[in-house]
Amino acid sequence: MLVGYGRVSSSSQDLDIQHDALRAAGCEKLFMEKESGTSTDNRKALSDALEFIREGDCFIVTRIDRLARSVSDLETIVAKVKAKGAFLKAVDQPIDTSSPAGVAFLQMLGVFAQFETAIRKERQLEGIAKAKSEGRYKGRKPTVSVEQVKAMKAEGVRPVDIASKLGIARASVYRALAA
């Protein structure tokens, strides 16, 4: 059976192109989701797809970066597919884990996907540092005021209760009290 998996990173992105490509590739069963690819955490459709595949199946994605953004995650996913007796193929890339050349190309693309993620994060941090130095970046506005937290503590309210009443984490209460 041909089993397809598609993923986009945010709810504003569209899965239609991947859906159509996977259907055109002959996928009989599709698993689609809108989740970040930087980790396999919280990717229910991926977990469901890996649970669904059986021996002899072909697990198909449009591109490897839709599957994983780190070499370790990619290796883990490929190992799960292989353990099930299935193979991995990509529609838009010459990847087919049923051949040694396909496995080698898969590993090279995994390295590039991880590198791209690292470069993007580096550029983001550089942009934030520049904006901070120019006074344009102040960070997220506090959800509650330090004064409010300290006033509640002065009234004898316990930190756990302050956190509960204000809808913030207990660690935020301790940070406010230390400020």
Dist CA 27 CA 89 (whole Å)? 11
Separation of alpha carbons 44 and 139, rounded Å: 31
Which residues lie closer than 8 Å to 40 by C-beta, 6 or more apart?
Answer: 46, 47, 68, 73, 76, 77
Q: Which residue type does 156 have? A: G
CB 23 within 8 A of CB 44: no
Q: Which of 9, 98, 145, 164 is catalytic?
A: 9
Assigned token pair, 122: 């580096």
Task: Give the CA dihedral 91, 64, 105, 90, nearest 10 degrees.
Answer: -20
Establish whether 9 is a catalytic residue.
yes
Q: Mind telling me the catalytic residues?
A: 9
